């Protein structure tokens, strides 16, 4: 008996990254779905590898979550997704140019004291 696509799990890199960016923006599945006019369960199926995702839908989700496709491609280049907030901050700082880091330095320094 052949399984339906929704009964198979194939967690792709796309699915892993989409889940990460959704969570990093503190969006629920339902909130994410409403942003792109699909159900929260459809977002869950995509993230769990139970539903394939087209390039167009991928781009729509990435942009709805507040990222660019170049951000997405940087995530693709990472060996693994940041596992905690500290890793996420390091990832973001590495993407900043020196002028932005100079602005952030006093803020970060005050947090450490």
Q: Please give the residue that has the higher pLDDT: either 37 or 23.
A: 37
Q: Assess whether 52 and 107 both reside in one domain.
A: no
Q: Assess whether 20 and 54 both reside in one domain.
A: yes
φ/ψ of 67, rounded to 5, equals: -115, 160
Name the domain count of the chain.
2
Stated pTM of the model: 0.64
User: Region 72-94: what's the mean pLDDT?
Assistant: 76
Q: Assess whether 61 and 31 both reside in one domain.
A: yes
- Residue 61: predicted pLDDT: 92
Which CATH number covers residue 71? 1.10.260.40
Tens of pLDDT, residues 51-82: 888 899 999 999 999 889 988 888 888 776 66
Least confident of 20-29, 37-46, 87-96, 99-108: 87-96
| Helix 69-77 with 55-64: angle, nearest 10 deg | 100
Q: Assess whether 47 and 88 both reside in one domain.
A: no
Q: Assess whether 62 and 86 both reside in one domain.
A: no
- Residue 33: predicted pLDDT: 93
Q: How far apart (Å, rounded) are the C-alpha atoms in residues 20 and 83?
A: 9
Retrieve residue 61's tokens.
């989700």
- Got the DSSP string for 40-77? HHHHHHHHTTSS---HHHHHHHHHHTT--HHHHHHHHH
């Amino acid at each position: 008996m052949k399984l339906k696509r929704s009964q198979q799990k194939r967690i792709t890199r796309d699915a892993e990254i989409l889940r990460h960016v959704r969570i990093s923006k503190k969006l629920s599945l339902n909130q994410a779905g409403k942003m792109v006019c699909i159900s929260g369960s459809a977002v869950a199926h995509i993230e769990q590898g139970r539903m394939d995702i087209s390039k167009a839908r991928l781009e729509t989700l990435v942009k709805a979550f507040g990222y660019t496709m170049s951000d997405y491609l940087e995530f693709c280049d990472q060996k693994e997704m940041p596992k905690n907030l500290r890793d996420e901050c390091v990832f973001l700082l590495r993407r900043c140019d020196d002028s932005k880091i100079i602005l952030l330095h006093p803020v970060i320094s005050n947090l450490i004291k």
